[in-house]
Amino acid sequence: MGTIIWTTIGAILTLSVYSFLYKDNPFYKFAEHLVVGISAGYYLVIYYFNFIQPNVVAPVFQLRFGDEVIELGSSMWWLALIPGLLGLLLYTRFFPKIGWIGRWSLGIYVGGYAGLGLSPIMQARVLNQIGANALPLTSITNVFLIVGLIGTLTYFFFSMKHKGVLGALARVGIVFLMVGFGASFGYTVMSRVSLLIGRVGFLLQDWLHLI
Amino acid sequence: MNIFERFMQIDRRWIFLAIGIVVIIPFFFPLGLPVTVTEPVQNLYDALDEIPPNGQPLLLAIDYAPATLPELEPMSLALLRHAFSNDINVAVLTLHPAGYGLAERAMNQVAEEMGQVYGEDYCFLGFRPGLSAVILGLGVNIRNVYPEDAYGTSLNDIPMLDGIRNYDDIPLLITLAGWSAAEAWVLYAHQPYGQDVGAGVTAVMATDLYPFLDTGQLVGLLGGMRGAAEYEGLINHPDAGVRGMDSQSAVHILIIILIVLGNIAYFGARRKKREMERDAA
């Protein structure tokens, strides 16, 4: 019985959202606000029980991390307490007079993430990709790839006017870019249609049991 | 107003209606169009197939939210079915807060269907925020990031995780994501630790990840509903992916027809306008 009720609520909300395709209406607005409200509550609970409780509350107040017992004032205890306090400092933004204190946490957060990401991002997105394109011109595919790469890079080279050889290469680059955008757009259409298919499947199978 | 101009000004709601009808019809009258398997999908299948049974677990990151459910849930079901049918242990986690319930749903559905036991054949580590910090942390020690599973059981009390410490003990990691998590696993698990990573992503994201296939940074890739359908074909268990592909193909045909008609109407209307301007002059 519970499943039928929840499925029916889901179906009504699905139809409410799709009613926007006809025109904006109160049913759509209701569904939209419901999503925002429920998401905020859901995220709060998930974040608390999956992160704040085991990683901050348990080590600092209950003196345990998993099944490991922690001593008050030990390095593990401080490692849980300090990030927790830095997180709380972010909320000083709500008090204009002391809002600047939150920048300390933000600075550590941004600096930490930049440091963590610098090497892997450089390696994965730049060096490995350059290596993958250093190919021998022994097959049509490789020639195609190299021409496309040089043409596209030339298109984004703005230090000289795109005339003569540079202009021709840039035009080749545009062709490759357009093919890339076309493939990307095709995939986007496929993705959006998949969402509709998923919802139609839900309505016909899970709700109406027609298939 | 001639026929071309009238076509150019058609109310877009008629197009929405046409797409809706074209999506619904194949649910009742399946076309049964063949789905051929592409190399990235086959590679992911092979990589999972090579994991020894009842040993080190597959790490499955269900990093998707309800907004991408139709594309990514069929993938998670197909991957779990494949793993469980080969007696491969699976540790599930999520880096997306909304993925928590969806991960549980997919995992429990397939586990129940295939008679798997929690803790021995599969486990759910739950959600942790922090993306790159979490991924890097798993490379040091899984227990530092997840001292307990999602239900409060210490990882030391979960039999299938005995001796599992970090990526050295994970033969394959697969992420199913509709956001940047897929790339993050490549950046922070494959790059520093050499972890084999496979991905299942929404079709929108697939083109962004193809460069990682060529470099070997991804062992395989499932792109959108089509990728799910291919995988369902490989494990001989057609489900939502295969079923959806008929509607997908039908809509694509409709869109192509509309693009052609739109262009005919545009050029036709332009020619008529020029003829009228010439006659007036």
User: What's residue A3's pLDDT?
Assistant: 85
CATH label, B39-238, candidates 3.40.50.10160, 3.90.25.10, 3.40.1180.10, 3.90.330.10: 3.40.50.10160
Burial of A60 (0-12, 13-18, 19+ CB in 10 A): middle
Structure tokens at B125: 């580590």
pTM of the predicted model, to two decimals? 0.88
In chain B, domain spans: 3-30+245-280, 39-238
Nearest CB to A211 within list B28, B148, B255: B28
The pLDDT of residue B96 is: 93
CB spacing of B148 vs A180 below 8 angstroms = no
For this complex, say whether ipTM is above 0.90.
no
* B100 inside 8 A of chain A by CB: yes
Strand-pairing partners, residue B92, are B60, B124
Our CA-based measurement puts residue B117 at a distance from the nearest CA of chain A, in whole angstroms, of 22
pLDDT tier for residue B20 given thresholds of 50, 70 and 90: very high
A53 in reach of chain B (CB within 8 A): no
B61-116: per-residue pLDDT in tens? Answer: 999 999 899 999 999 999 999 999 999 999 999 999 999 999 999 999 999 999 99
Name the minimum distance, in Å, from the CA of B276 to any CA of chain A.
34
Interface of A with B in 115-134 (CB under 8 A): 116-117, 119-121, 123-125, 128-129, 131-132
Q: Is A158 on the interface with B (CB under 8 A)?
A: no
* Structural tokens at position A195: 């969402």
pLDDT score of B276 more than 90: no
pLDDT of residue A84: 92
**Cα A180 from Cα A174, distance rounded (Å):** 10
Among the partner residues B71, B148, B203, nearest to A54 by beta-carbon distance: B148
Give dist(CA B87, CA A111) in Å, integer: 43
Question: Is A200's Cβ below 8 Å from some Cβ in B?
Answer: yes
Cβ neighbours of A81 (radius 10 Å): 15
Distance from A187 to chain B by nearest Cα, in Å?
5
Cross-strand bridge partners of residue A69? A64
What number of other Cβ atoms are within 10 A of residue A73's Cβ?
A: 9
CA distances from B105 to A182, B42, B99 (A): 36, 26, 10
Could you tell me if B256 and B75 are in contact, meaning their C-beta atoms sit under 8 angstroms apart?
A: no
Element (H, E) at B241: helix B240-280
Between A and B, how many CB-CB pairs are < 8 A? 144
Residue B169: pLDDT above 90? Answer: yes
Residue of A nearest to B101 (CA): A46
Chain B residues in contact with A75 by the CB 8 A cut-off are none
**Amino acid in the structure at residue A7:** T
Q: Residue ranges per domain, chain A?
A: 1-70, 136-211
What digits encode the pLDDT tens for the residues A22-36?
Answer: 999 999 999 999 999
